[in-house]
Amino acid sequence: MAQAIRVQDFCRSRCKTCWNTSAMQSPLALILGAFSFMTAQAAVAKENPLGQVIQLLDELTAKITAEGEAEAKAYQEFVAWCDDAARNKRFEIKTATAKKAALEAAIGKSAGDIEASNNKIEQLAADLTSSDADLRGATAVREKEAKDFATSEAELEEVISTLGRAITVIEREMAK
C-alpha cells in the first residue's frame, strides 16, 4: 500500500494539470489500486521481477533522497559561508574607504605643508641673497673707509711730524 501511495505521489508531481481533474482521478485510482495489488503480490514473492524492480526503485529513491538532503545541507553551509564572506568583505571595504579618506586628507595637508615650506625656502633664499649683497656693499664701504682712514692717518702723521720739526726750529730760533 505504501508503494501505491508513492506511485500516486509520483504521478501527481509529474502531471499536475491532468491529475487535478476528476475524470483522471478515478481511472488512475483504479490503475493504482491494481498496481499496488500486483506490487504487494510481487513483494510477497521475491522471485517476481516486478517486485525486484520496485525494490530497486525504492532503494534508489532512498539513496537519491539521502544524497539530496546531503546536498541541501552542503548548500546551506556554502550559503552561510558566502554570507559571512560577503559581510566580512563589506566591512573591509567600509574600513578601507574610511582609511582612504583619512589618507587623502593627510596627503592634502602634507601637500599644503610642502607648498608652505617651499615658499619659506624661497623667502629665506631671497633674504640670504639680499643679505649677501648687503654684506658685499658694507665690506666695500668698510674697505674704502679703511683706505681713506689710512690715507688721512698718514697725512696727519706727516703734519704732526712737520709741526714737531717746526716747533723745534722755532724754539731754536727763539733761544738765539
C-alpha cell at 57: 526503485
Whole-angstrom distance, CA of residue 91 vs CA of residue 132? 60
Query: What's this model's pTM, rounded to 2 decimal places?
Result: 0.39
Indicate the domain borders of the chain.
45-175
pLDDT at position 175: 85
pLDDT at position 51: 84
C-alpha cell at 51: 517486485
Whole-angstrom distance, CA of residue 27 vs CA of residue 23? 7
Q: Average pLDDT of each block of 10 consecutive residues along the chain (176 residues)?
A: 56 52 51 57 65 92 95 97 97 97 96 96 95 93 94 94 93 86
